[in-house]
Structure 1
Amino acid sequence: MFSYILKRLALMLPTLLGVLLITFTIVQFVPGGPVEQYLAESRAGLGGVDGAGLSYRGHEGIDAQRLETIKALYGFDQPAHVRFWNMLTGFARFDLGDSFMHNKAVWELIKEKLPVSISLGLWTFFISYAIAIPLGVAKAVRAGTRFDLLSSLLVLAGYAVPGFVLGVALLVLLGGQLEWFPLRGLVSPGWSEMPLGQKILDYLWHITLPVASMVAGSFAVTTLLTKNAVLEEIRKQYVLTAHAKGLSQRQVLWKHVFRNALIPIVTGFPAAFIGAFFAGALLIETLFTLDGLGLLGYESIIRRDYPVVLGTLYLFTLIGLLTKLISDLCYVWVDPRVKFD
């Protein structure tokens, strides 16, 4: 086990390096970088805007000395390989650099936006599993019945509809037309001055539509996985033996079948738990104007804020690799018969 963990940790380094290298190389060829954005904004401040918006003319009309000063400000006065090496040495110390757009450390930005992503992730994870596991067990026990068919249609319909499409529908219908829920934000203005009970209700009022949009498609896979795992266990010989000993259907289901069927589901908990925070929330956060990591990443790409783009990519990739390792180790924790030899 110890050698397996060391081997996996060693393999993470080239994987992480490859992800960063590919992303860093791509962003070097993307037009409209931080220097060009700065120059365009400077021209806009001086009236260099036409009827269609900002007039992008590259470095035209810019003094060479001023251009070099701007490049040095953003660190682009150095060759690409030097900047890449400096980035790696900073990441090795968990120094993610400073944002061009926000003029603050990337770590500080992540800590500021993390509560919103944690709110969405926790609610989505727990609600999805609270629905998926009981529903999957019920579908397995009633396999082939009308309940199984109708519930499968509903689950697959929810899985087929993208979360942002459902979010738009809920936003227009329940937020715009009926005005039952707010259209944006995680809390109302003046939330900090509200009584505790009103704070909780206001927070839940705001979080309902975003979470509903994310939950709709996230529990389908877990539901069907639970159903198939329970069905596979029900057909095994030990279930017939347990019934022959006089155990009731409930005892056999919850004490024997359910415990064995949960092995493939429990081992996926770490990845699902972490993934709920960082995956799939970009469009939802943008749609509902929630100031979280997804919206931060989107704005950073649009504004070419490379330290934020590469810093968050490094952090998320590292978390993803460690989570994958923990998921694999959970197999041994749940089922001691599994060996990594």
Structure 2
Amino acid sequence: MWNYLLKRLLLMIPTLLGVVTITFVVIQFVPGGPVEQMVGQLQGRDAAGAEGRASGGPGYLGRQGVDAERVEEIKKLYGFDKPAHERYFQMLGQFARFDLGKSFFHNKDVWQLIREKLPVSISLGLWTFFLTYLISIPLGIAKAVRAGTPFDTTTTVLMLLGYAIPGFVLGVVLLVFFAGGNFFQWFPLRGLTSPDWASLSLAGKVVDYLWHIVLPVIALLAGSFATVTLMTKNSVLEEIRKQYVLTARAKGLAESVVLRRHVFRNALMPIMTGFPAAFVGAFFTGSLLIETLFSLDGLGLLSYESAIRRDYPVVLGSLFLFTLIGLVTTLLRDIAYLWVDPRVKYE
């Protein structure tokens, strides 16, 4: 077991290195880098300044370009005056010290940016992850026990309907109906807290926070139930039909005991395989449109804006961090296999 853990920890290094290297190589060929964007901004500013003066008047200088000396200064500012291989090894040295670099456009450390956006992503991620599994697993077990009944059919139709509706579409509907549209104004239109949140009491802060988080979480949850619920149902059904369950029933064990002590423990294995992806995904992916729709400034919006603006330190730093978290959670999943099923051996 310890040898396996050591091997997995050591394998994280080339995995991280491969992900970062491929991304670094790809972005070298992406057009419209930070230098080009800054030059474009300066040209636009110069042109706007020139057009703001009276055309042909004594102060008119015409459209001004950006001279080569200024371009070299911009390259040096962003570190592009160095060869690609030198910038690559400099980046690896920073990541080895867990220094994610400094944003080109926010003028802040990447760590600071991530910490600023985390409250929104943690709120959306934790509520989505825990509510999905707290509801889907018991519902999947209930569907398996009542397979073929009207309860099973009705819940399946409702789940597939929710799965078919995109989260942002449901978010728009929720805003129109319940957040100041033409119907009800029960929930706030934007933000995670009210402007006067700091002056509220502890109970008032909790209520205010829950009041703001209801609609975004519902929009995210709608499509999350179907996959986990149906996976749980199929896994439980497969275990129920096995010989050891028939033997346990023949011994006179109560159905609840058979499900709790035998079926569910074995059925939990395939469900656990989705934990790492669901956990990481709940925090770092899939919430861009919801964050935009409800005016929530989280990691999803940060990643999108960084990619569009070619803010490479944020792109590479956040990718390094998210990949590391994914590898660690996958390792924790494998370790949890031993707790669920002692027959699993990592040799």
Instruction: Measure, in 1, the Cα distance between the counterparts of 2:49 and 2:285.
Output: 37
Question: 1:11 deviation in Å?
Answer: 2.6
The answer on 1:317 being equivalent to 2:344 is: no
Question: 1:316 deviation in Å?
Answer: 0.5
Instruction: Measure, in 1, the Cα distance between the counterparts of 2:27 and 2:119.
Output: 28
Unaligned runs of 5+ in 1: 52-59
Partner of 1:45 in structure 2? 45
The answer on 1:24 being equivalent to 2:24 is: yes
Partner of 1:327 in structure 2? 333
TM-score, normalised to structure 2, is 0.89
TM-score, normalised to structure 1, is 0.91
CA contact (8 A) 1:128 1:215 kept: yes
Question: 1:18 deviation in Å?
Answer: 2.1
Unaligned runs of 5+ in 2: 52-63
1:279 and 1:245, CA in 2 relative to 1: closer, same or farther beyond 3 A? same
Partner of 1:186 in structure 2? 192
Residue-by-residue CA offset, 1:166-193 (whole Å, 9 max, x unaligned):
2222223322333322222111112111
CA contact (8 A) 2:171 2:293 kept: yes
Q: Secondary structure at the match of 2:223?
A: helix
1:168 and 1:26, CA in 2 relative to 1: closer, same or farther beyond 3 A? farther
Partner of 1:64 in structure 2? 68
Residue-by-residue CA offset, 1:80-137 (whole Å, 9 max, x unaligned):
1111111111111111111111111101111111111111111001111111011101
What are the within-5 Å matches in structure 2 for residues 78-117 of structure 1? 78-117=82-121
Instruction: Measure, in 2, the Cα distance between the counterparts of 1:45 and 1:324.
Output: 49
**Equivalent position amino acid for 2:9 in 1:** L
Instruction: Measure, in 2, the Cα distance between the counterparts of 1:22 and 1:166.
Output: 36
**Equivalent position amino acid for 2:37 in 1:** Q
Select between 259-268 and 84-93 the one with higher mean Cα deviation.
Answer: 259-268
Equivalent residues, number: 333
Q: Select the residue among 147, 152, 176 that pairs with 2:151.
A: 147
Instruction: Measure, in 1, the Cα distance between the counterparts of 2:257 and 2:71.
Output: 76
Instruction: Measure, in 2, the Cα distance between the counterparts of 1:109 and 1:161.
Output: 32
Residue-by-residue CA offset, 1:227-285 (whole Å, 9 max, x unaligned):
11211222223333333333332333233322332233245434433332112122221
Partner of 1:339 in structure 2? 345
Question: 1:162 deviation in Å?
Answer: 2.2
CA contact (8 A) 2:276 2:326 kept: no
Question: 1:205 deviation in Å?
Answer: 1.3
The answer on 1:200 being equivalent to 2:190 is: no
Instruction: Measure, in 1, the Cα distance between the counterparts of 2:103 and 2:11.
Output: 30
Question: 1:313 deviation in Å?
Answer: 0.6
Q: Secondary structure at the match of 2:297?
A: coil
Q: Select the residue among 130, 134, 138 that pairs with 2:138.
A: 134
Select between 240-249 and 32-41 the one with higher mean Cα deviation.
Answer: 240-249
1:196 and 1:260, CA in 2 relative to 1: closer, same or farther beyond 3 A? same
Instruction: Measure, in 2, the Cα distance between the counterparts of 1:253 and 1:77.
Output: 65
The answer on 1:123 being equivalent to 2:113 is: no
Partner of 1:2 in structure 2? 2
**Equivalent position amino acid for 1:221 in 2:** T
Partner of 1:295 in structure 2? 301
CA contact (8 A) 1:267 1:330 kept: no
CA contact (8 A) 1:181 1:206 kept: yes
Instruction: Measure, in 1, the Cα distance between the counterparts of 2:312 and 2:265.
Output: 47
The answer on 1:238 being equivalent to 2:244 is: yes
Q: Select the residue among 286, 299, 306 that pairs with 2:312.
A: 306
CA contact (8 A) 2:143 2:233 kept: yes
1:110 and 1:259, CA in 2 relative to 1: closer, same or farther beyond 3 A? same
1:105 and 1:209, CA in 2 relative to 1: closer, same or farther beyond 3 A? same
Instruction: Measure, in 2, the Cα distance between the counterparts of 1:64 and 1:236.
Output: 75
Question: 1:49 deviation in Å?
Answer: 8.5
Partner of 2:267 in structure 1? 261
Poorly superposed stretches of 4+, deviation over 6 Å: none
CA contact (8 A) 2:101 2:317 kept: yes
Q: Secondary structure at the match of 2:281?
A: helix
Instruction: Measure, in 1, the Cα distance between the counterparts of 2:50 and 2:148.
Output: 65
Question: 1:26 deviation in Å?
Answer: 2.2
**Equivalent position amino acid for 1:143 in 2:** A
Q: Select the residue among 212, 215, 219 that pairs with 2:221.
A: 215
CA contact (8 A) 1:113 1:293 kept: yes
Identity of aligned residues (%): 68
1:41 and 1:61, CA in 2 relative to 1: closer, same or farther beyond 3 A? closer
Instruction: Measure, in 2, the Cα distance between the counterparts of 1:271 and 1:337.
Output: 24
Question: 1:333 deviation in Å?
Answer: 2.3
Instruction: Measure, in 2, the Cα distance between the counterparts of 1:49 and 1:239.
Output: 80
**Equivalent position amino acid for 1:81 in 2:** H
